[in-house]
Every structure is written in structure tokens, then in C-alpha cells.
Structure 1
């Protein structure tokens, strides 16, 4: 299957909906991760910029669970208020506008993330988020 043959839109929409439900239900330690995990390959790799409070490389379902724990320790709210699916093939690109509040400072920040997601075998195999201003995110969290 070539990039042109795959329409990853149902996978992407399903994953983002499951992520919102997971976070709304209380996230790590409260909600079940299984519905969200179903959208990811067992050996998924998530790359986050090292300058972020939750930076680093997160591997596998266990790594994603630890990532979401780090995210919930960073943000008291994290709402994906608008999304645009710019490419939806084997390599997909999604722009997401976020409205979040830092847990440590109580400060609110709106920002955009551009994610590239590699799809393999009907699941998300790799995610690379690009933040417009990672320094602003780090600053609001201190």
C-alpha cells in the first residue's frame, strides 16, 4: 500500500477522540488506557522535544502511559480546540490548536502543535510533535 492508497483519517479521528475521552475520564491512574492503546502499534515511538517538561523519547504502550502521566503532571487542563488534518496517508500531518493550563503555575496558554504520524499495519507507529514555541510552554510551566 502506498501513501496515496491509505486514508488514515478514521485512525487519526478515532485516536484523538479516545485521547480526549481518556483525559476527560481522569487520565493516568484513573481512566483505562486500553481504548487509546488500541490505536497505537505495540512498539510505537513518540518523540517529544527535550526542552519540554515531558520531553524525551517514549516507547511502546508503557512509554505512552508514562508520557500521559508526565503530561497530566504538567497540565491541569489540555483541550484540543481545533484540528486540521493536512495529510492523511501513511505519513499523516495534523495541526492542533491547544488551550491548556499549567498545573504548577495556574497560567493558561494557547498554542499550536504540528504532528507527523507514521501509520503502519493500521496503527500509529511513530509520532513527532512540533511546537511553535517550546520555550513559551516551558516558561508557563515554571
Structure 2
């Protein structure tokens, strides 16, 4: 469990740095299995399936195009073997509109051999995400 939690904390810190500071993907890649898959809600600007480390890098680029900043305000972790459920409360600022979104995302992250192999986020309110990032 300690290795899993350490990898998750490194991953989330690298994710926030990548978006907020225009980061280096190396720190994130070190936490990911080569065959990692992420499933995002299809109607989000960065929606769809993202395959492999290069897919996650492209996802992060799409996130960075959408969001100017990402800050984790609270995180709660429930570990069950190789699966971790994370309750994230976060604050994001949209790049296009400047709007700030405070929201929650639940994630199911699966590990294999100490590396993240699958990421499934579940947004509290995808309509609020879209309202924050688009001019309506």
C-alpha cells in the first residue's frame, strides 16, 4: 500500500505541476504502465479514451489547453489491493474564460506491478465543467 500511495502522490503532484507550470511529463510517465488507459467522459474537451504513456501525455496537453491551473484542495484515498478510489476536491481556472471551477471528481485507479495501468474519473458535474470552459 505504501508504494501505491507514494506513486499516487507523485502522480497527482506531477499532474498539477504539468498544468499549472507547463510541466515536464517525465515525472508522470514514471508512474504509468506502458499500456496505461484513461477513460474520460466523451463530451468533455479532453474526453475519450487515451492509450499508453503517449496518450496520457496528449491528454495532459489537452487538459493544459483547457485549464490554466489545477489545485487539489482535498484528497481521500481508499485502497483495495491494486485498486484505489480517490475522492478529489479541486479548483481549476479555465484558460479560455478565466472562470474558476470548484468541483469534485471520484477516480478509480488500478495498478499493476506498482504502476498505474487504468484511470477512470467520474465527475460530479460535467455540465459545470463545460460551463466553466466555454463562453455561453
Question: TM-score over 0.5 for the alignment?
Answer: yes
Give the deviation of 1:24 after TM superposition.
4.2
Residue 112 (1) aligns with residue 104 (2): yes
SS in 1 for 2:78: strand
Q: Corresponding residue for 1:3?
A: none
Tell me how large the CA RMSD over aligned residues is: 1.4
Give the deviation of 1:81 after TM superposition.
1.6
Residue 21 (1) aligns with residue 17 (2): yes
Question: 8 Å contact 2:105–2:123 — kept in the other structure?
Answer: yes
Q: Corresponding residue for 1:74?
A: 66
Give the deviation of 1:25 after TM superposition.
3.4
Runs of 4+ in 1 over 3 A off after TM superposition: 21-25
Q: Corresponding residue for 1:130?
A: 122
Aligned counterparts of 2:80 and 2:14: Cα–Cα separation in 1: 18
Residues 133 and 24 of structure 1: CA distance in aligned 2, closer, same or farther (over 3 Å): closer
Question: 8 Å contact 1:51–1:135 — kept in the other structure?
Answer: no
Give the deviation of 1:79 after TM superposition.
1.1
Residue 11 (1) aligns with residue 7 (2): yes
Give the deviation of 1:23 after TM superposition.
3.4
What does the per-residue CA deviation read over 1:19-63, in whole Å, with 9 as the maximum and x for residues that have no partner? 233334313xxxx21121010000100000012111000011110
Structure 2: tracts of 5 or more residues without a match: none
Greater helix proportion: 2
Structure 1: tracts of 5 or more residues without a match: 1-5
Equivalent residues, number:
133
TM-score (norm. length: structure 2): 0.90
